[in-house]
Structure 1
């Protein structure tokens, strides 16, 4: 994003000058309602725990309701002053996503922040219920739909509402297959599919933030570097050489999920980043090697697509057409362009 800005919209010092932000820097979150997807474990859990510790009402959303409830109970046991609830959300099913949005709205709560943290990485090859290759279907298309379905609540709650989406340092390797966004021709759910889903997330974040200017909602992207979480363990297809190499690198070099989650916590809570929508929170990196420090610094993605505004718009428009086609097939209505 532009480097010419020196003061945030609230008159604060440029947040890019703040280094080594941690949970201790988080201001009170009392009165705020936050949804964190994939928060039954790993970085999502630590992000949810930190927000609840500072007073937020956090909703943990993941595929297993039982695991969500267990994660919520664990957070409550730490003595947080905020409220923690659990809700079922399967991002591989558009029907589940639509049902989740309806159930949340039925609770008549505001929505200050949506943290799109859930994702899969190097999983066994498969497809979602809508026919997407699993990785792109969950990481990108699922969150695209969820964000649009909750946008009215975010706008209604603003100004100051936010969406934070999880990217990855592998965005450096990503590209967009314009003739096959759904992954129909994919032969595996591998590193190419993962990397592509992550640069698509960054492009979506920047296009959506551009479209939302003046609406009271801002959108951010984050990436944590290599992390020791279940994303790199239980979910891996260990029959693949790539999976084993990434798993080994993560075990040797990766950092704790709690520290890695700072890249989510800061854009979800720090008022000094108001006016910096579209920004990317990341540890410093040396090509594909992320340095395990300053996980909440504001930096630039490495992929040139992150700076191609025409490509952002093209991706957004094509994705919207695909999503609405899938929704129509199942009689689930449609979503409107932002």
Structure 2
């Protein structure tokens, strides 16, 4: 990973922070893409201290805002002419139905649409790398997800686990379709299930609600460092640069549901996603 430029979204805590630290130890230059400047600066200090590397920096990115995603992509391109690895790690779980700044249901908006737009805006610099890699952190929860085009934002009968599962199915459909569209290029695209990891993903982004619950159940979950292992593997291994369009668990290709592997659904969902974030008005769309 020497001299490789890597972006990790949601890098201020949990798996994102653990991934940052491990890749920095391997010699990568890591950009921590974080929503909060205050929490991001604290995480940056932690990452530098734990990795022993000064090749780590903070950039502000709010995946719940289309404007912020465009600003981040422009700021990155003003500083760097290539990107070797993009790790779409950030994720939210919302107990109550909430929406992004642009009116998308929060989990579908952040976990999928935010990363969908970010990735497409960075494709040109990924193509400038000798071998670009896109890594999408999905979940085994995708198995119970569905794509109902009549109500993708769950305006009727919102359920937190249903919404989360849908967003994780979205991650895999995005991976499959993007890998198909990038066939023959220098970029690989893979997704992964990190295992059941005890992170702050279920804690309210504004109030911190849920910390007491996590204090009780966290000992039964994997550590963030353990959960980050497959992402680090895909970012740094030879296989991560040769295999594309797959779903990994414990550093090995794992099975997915028939829905997740449906190419027609993946293409239809791509078109929907493109329309939602107005991607086709941007010159760098695929």
Are 2:133 and 1:178 aligned? Answer: no
Q: Deviations over 1:55-78 (max 9, x none)?
A: 100000111012212211112113
Specify whether residues 117 and 131 from structure 1 end up closer, same or farther in structure 2 by C-alpha distance, changes over 3 A only.
Answer: same
Match of 2:220 in 1: 253
- Tell me, yes or no, if the aligned pair for 1:46 and 1:258 is still in contact at 8 Å: yes
Q: Deviations over 1:102-139 (max 9, x none)?
A: 00011034200000000101343211111111110000
Are 2:230 and 1:263 aligned? Answer: yes
Structure with max Cα Rg: 1
Gaps (5+ residues) in structure 2? none
Q: Which residues of 2 match residues 198-277 of structure 1 at below 5 A?
A: 198-233=168-203, 250-251=217-218, 253-277=220-244
Q: Distance in 2 between matches of 1:175 and 1:209?
A: 21
Specify whether residues 296 and 317 from structure 1 end up closer, same or farther in structure 2 by C-alpha distance, changes over 3 A only.
Answer: same
Q: 2:14 aligns with which of 31, 42, 45?
A: 42
Match of 1:311 in 2: 265
- Aligned positions, number: 282
- Tell me, yes or no, if the aligned pair for 1:55 and 1:82 is still in contact at 8 Å: no
TM-score for both structures, normalised by structure 2: 0.91
SS for the counterpart of 1:136 is helix
Match of 1:97 in 2: 69
SS for the counterpart of 2:277 is helix
Are 2:282 and 1:334 aligned? Answer: yes
Q: Deviations over 1:162-212 (max 9, x none)?
A: 00011011111100012233x062453611111001001101101100110
Specify whether residues 335 and 179 from structure 1 end up closer, same or farther in structure 2 by C-alpha distance, changes over 3 A only.
Answer: farther
Shift in Å at residue 215 of structure 1? 1.2
Q: Distance in 1 between matches of 2:223 and 2:177?
A: 31
Q: Distance in 2 between matches of 1:281 and 1:249?
A: 29
Q: Deviations over 1:223-272 (max 9, x none)?
A: 1121111114455865xxxxx7xx69953531111111112111111123
Shift in Å at residue 318 of structure 1? 1.7
Q: Distance in 2 between matches of 1:81 and 1:65?
A: 20
Q: Distance in 1 between matches of 2:13 and 2:173?
A: 27
Match of 1:21 in 2: none
SS for the counterpart of 1:215 is coil
Q: Distance in 2 between matches of 1:281 and 1:248?
A: 29
Q: Distance in 2 between matches of 1:209 and 1:142?
A: 18
Q: Distance in 2 between matches of 1:184 and 1:54?
A: 42
Shift in Å at residue 40 of structure 1? 0.4
- Tell me, yes or no, if the aligned pair for 1:34 and 1:57 is still in contact at 8 Å: yes
SS for the counterpart of 2:275 is helix
Structure 1 window deviating more from structure 2 (75-84 vs 252-261): it is 75-84
Q: Distance in 2 between matches of 1:42 and 1:144?
A: 22
SS for the counterpart of 2:189 is strand
Which of structure 1's runs of 4+ aligned residues deviate more than 4 A? 233-238, 247-250
Specify whether residues 120 and 101 from structure 1 end up closer, same or farther in structure 2 by C-alpha distance, changes over 3 A only.
Answer: same
TM-score for both structures, normalised by structure 1: 0.78
Match of 1:125 in 2: 97
- Tell me, yes or no, if the aligned pair for 2:133 and 2:241 is still in contact at 8 Å: no
SS for the counterpart of 1:118 is coil
